[in-house]
Structure 1
Amino acid sequence: MAAKRCPVYGGKMKGHGRTAKGTKRWQCMSCAATTTHKVDTTAKSLKGFLAWLLSPSRQADMPGAGRSFRRSSEDFWRIWPIAPACDEIHHVVHVDGIWLGRKAVMLIACTKDHVVGWHLARSESSQAWAALMARIAPPDVVVSDGGSGFEKARRAVWPATRVQRCTFHAFGQVKRCTTTRPRLQAGAELYGIAKDLLHLDSLDEAAGWLASFARWCAEWDGFLKEKAVVDGRAQFKHERLRKARRSLERLARAGTLFTYLDAKLLEGGAVPATNNRIEGGVNAQLREMLRRHRGMGLERRIKAISWWCYLHTECPLPAADILREMPTDESIAALYRDAEGAKESEGAVARWGAAVTWNDLHTSGPWRSDWN
């Protein structure tokens, strides 16, 4: 065990009996000053809290129905895990958003191995996506499900990055319009064409798919132009089929369906055609964690997801460093107060999210009416 040092002169100390409470007393061999030493177990408690958060353990199964655990971990819910900046250029990055409330979405970016960034926002707007991308080095390819605002942000922040549109989500858009058992021949054929997207392995097959889709569009063009009068207004009779056609036409024109087959990109490594890595490897795990610990309020759900993402980054800090470096509710409140009224206030707090983490979760009134 390391020798105790005097807090005044730094000299060596020796044992000097115990206090009235039984705590061991130490005396400086130089100045005769006495003191006691307490072991700081906060970092150990934080490790226990994070282990519980990532485990299926229930508080109801703990001694005392978890009351002692809740008291010891209360302070840790005030900490906000912050995503580290990622300056490493990755070959493929997956992005997606997981909704936690009517006006709260966590945007997440990950590679095949670990999480590289997350950002809390009100919606999947271009500003929110740009805030996430700004802290991540532009990858060679980004795989996305086509969320709103993403492409505008990608052109502004990652202009040289190629886009792979998740083919399963492209197929899902058509399936929602046609159902799995279309009643019309046109719908059955379009459903089959969309399903073929999931089984293309070469550029020749991709060219054949584009040709078959073009033939379908030409063959059923007149059918899709048919109209009917409803409530005195002329409307297209097959609007759902038209919507499905438009979704595939936009993707075909954008050239983002078959990026995963580009030979030049494949030189740097395989490019997945779907967003399964983040859907199954991240979002599914987050939903399972929230289900296991159901009953948490919105703010704690947000922090729980932030903790999960942070602990799955490439190099998370030890518990002691987390306690020393991560901001808390109080430090963020002070930042908002200091920046209030200044033109740069919004930029100063952008790293915490789109102001959701404080302004919307902490109100001065006794009731909350802005959240479900």
Structure 2
Amino acid sequence: MKTVKCPACGGKTKRNGKTKAGAQRWRCTSCGASTTQRYNSKASMLALFLDWLLSKRTQAQMGMPARTFRSLTSEFWSLWPTAPPCDEIHRVVHVDGIWLKRSCVVLIACTEGHVVGWHLARSESSQAWAALMARMAPPDVVVTDGGSGFERARRAVWPETKVQRCAFHAFEQVKRCTTTRPRIQAGVDLYAIAKGLLKVGTPDAAAEWLAEYAKWCSDYEGFLEEREVADGRPRHKHERLRKARRGLTKLCREGVLFTYLDEALAADGAVPATNNRIEGGVNRQIRAMLNEHRGMRLDRMVKAAFWYCSSRLEAPASPARALAEFPTDEAIAELRRTAAEGNARDEAVERWGTAVSWSDLHSGGPYRSDWD
């Protein structure tokens, strides 16, 4: 049992009978003040809840009947773990989205050691990516798989950050068009060139790869221009190879394939060529957690993903601080109602003139935190 201190003078206490309600009474040995001690077990129950959620154990293995465990921890499903703004400048940040349903994706950013931010969205739009990126200081390099909307958001929020396109995803983009067993020689050659992208380790090797790809484009330029008539309409005969060529040519033109070989960046440490850190270190673990506790409805799947990301922060919130700081479903619903009422008032003002909102004149910090 924890030592009970006197609330009046801070001295030691001793047992002094019980109250009418049956609670233990304590009496100070110094000043004689009497007090009772109440224990709040919510923090310890939240820790138990997270031990279950982030492990492979079942509810029946948590030291109590499964029904009792659900009864004692059900209130914690209303909490929404939030990511604090990150003002530390990192050299390399990995970004990716994990889809939980067709219209629900959690965008995540992490470094080599820990998660730095996450954001819930309906799609990988530029607005969603900007909402995630605006809460973090721009890194030196961002590694991405080239999801839709990301580049537009990066140009707006992190214009000085260099981009490394994941080499494995670039290879996979070609493989989807050629398959692993191409039937024509042009496909065989392009597949071999794309596979060689994974083995480039020096600037000289990168220059040789670019020359080899340029030669392929030149050798098969006429072949890829061949046309045929299908359903009464003319079209290119090798559209899938043309699509693969467009993708690689765009990456070469943007200069994002070999950022990891930049000597200035490599001087401070190696820059990864792939997005394996977030794909295998974060997203895979979230999928494994959801599989262990399969059957959750969508909102609980989202919160479970948030709890995992929160546990991988550089300084995770303790259960007691989480209870005090994380918003609940009720708090978020109230914020939405307040925002809706504010929007209605703004629309009324805009009928007569231009309205200026509070956020246009005031800012709580250097990074945006008011995204939807």
Query: Which AA in structure 1 matches 2:267?
Result: E
Match in the other structure for 1:121: 121
Does residue 96 of structure 1 match 2:99?
Answer: no
Residues 298 and 352 of structure 1: CA distance in aligned 2, closer, same or farther (over 3 Å): farther
Following the alignment from structure 1 to structure 2, what is the Cα–Cα distance between the partners of residues 206 and 351? 40
Match in the other structure for 1:326: 326
- Is this contact kept in 2: 1:5–1:12, CA < 8 A? no
Following the alignment from structure 1 to structure 2, what is the Cα–Cα distance between the partners of residues 284 and 135? 24
Deviation, 1:58, is: 1.1
Deviation, 1:38, is: 1.8
Match in the other structure for 2:349: none
Match in the other structure for 1:239: 239
Following the alignment from structure 1 to structure 2, what is the Cα–Cα distance between the partners of residues 11 and 299? 48
Deviations 1:129-179 (A, max 9, x none): 011111111111000000000000001110100000000000000001110
Following the alignment from structure 2 to structure 1, what is the Cα–Cα distance between the partners of residues 176 and 359? 39
Following the alignment from structure 2 to structure 1, what is the Cα–Cα distance between the partners of residues 146 and 129? 12
1:212-291 alignment to 2 at 5 Å? 212-291=212-291
Deviations 1:250-299 (A, max 9, x none): 00100000000010111121101000000011111111011111111110
Match in the other structure for 2:168: 168
Deviations 1:205-259 (A, max 9, x none): 1111111111111111111111111111011111111111111010010000000
Secondary structure of 1:317's counterpart equals: coil
Structure 2: runs of 5 or more not aligned:
344-356
Does residue 2 of structure 1 match 2:4?
Answer: yes
Match in the other structure for 1:341: 341
- Is this contact kept in 2: 1:120–1:352, CA < 8 A? no
Secondary structure of 1:223's counterpart equals: helix
Secondary structure of 1:43's counterpart equals: helix
Deviation, 1:351, is: 4.8
- Is this contact kept in 1: 2:165–2:256, CA < 8 A? yes
Deviation, 1:14, is: 5.9
Deviation, 1:43, is: 0.9
Secondary structure of 1:177's counterpart equals: helix
Query: Which AA in structure 2 matches 1:18?
Result: K
Deviation, 1:353, is: 6.7
Secondary structure of 1:132's counterpart equals: helix
Following the alignment from structure 1 to structure 2, what is the Cα–Cα distance between the partners of residues 204 and 291? 44
Deviations 1:17-59 (A, max 9, x none): 2245543134689999966422111111111111111111012
- Is this contact kept in 1: 2:4–2:12, CA < 8 A? no
Following the alignment from structure 1 to structure 2, what is the Cα–Cα distance between the partners of residues 44 and 221? 67
- Is this contact kept in 2: 1:118–1:309, CA < 8 A? yes
Residues 346 and 121 of structure 1: CA distance in aligned 2, closer, same or farther (over 3 Å): farther
- Is this contact kept in 1: 2:4–2:37, CA < 8 A? no
Identity of aligned residues (%): 60
Following the alignment from structure 2 to structure 1, what is the Cα–Cα distance between the partners of residues 173 and 222? 23
Following the alignment from structure 1 to structure 2, what is the Cα–Cα distance between the partners of residues 173 and 275? 14
Deviation, 1:341, is: 2.9
Match in the other structure for 2:77: 77
Following the alignment from structure 2 to structure 1, what is the Cα–Cα distance between the partners of residues 150 and 129? 6
Following the alignment from structure 1 to structure 2, what is the Cα–Cα distance between the partners of residues 90 and 61? 40
Residues 12 and 277 of structure 1: CA distance in aligned 2, closer, same or farther (over 3 Å): closer
Match in the other structure for 1:66: 66
Query: Which AA in structure 1 matches 2:46?
Result: L
Deviation, 1:64, is: 6.2
Match in the other structure for 1:362: none
Does residue 305 of structure 1 match 2:305?
Answer: yes
- Is this contact kept in 2: 1:98–1:105, CA < 8 A? yes
Deviation, 1:65, is: 4.9
TM-score normalised by length of structure 1: 0.88
Secondary structure of 1:340's counterpart equals: helix
TM-score normalised by length of structure 2: 0.88
Query: Which AA in structure 2 matches 1:139?
Result: P
Following the alignment from structure 2 to structure 1, what is the Cα–Cα distance between the partners of residues 242 and 235? 12
- Is this contact kept in 2: 1:119–1:353, CA < 8 A? no
Q: What is the CA RMSD across the aligned residues, in angstroms?
A: 2.5
- Is this contact kept in 2: 1:336–1:345, CA < 8 A? no
Following the alignment from structure 2 to structure 1, what is the Cα–Cα distance between the partners of residues 7 and 197? 70
- Is this contact kept in 2: 1:14–1:28, CA < 8 A? yes
Deviation, 1:16, is: 3.7
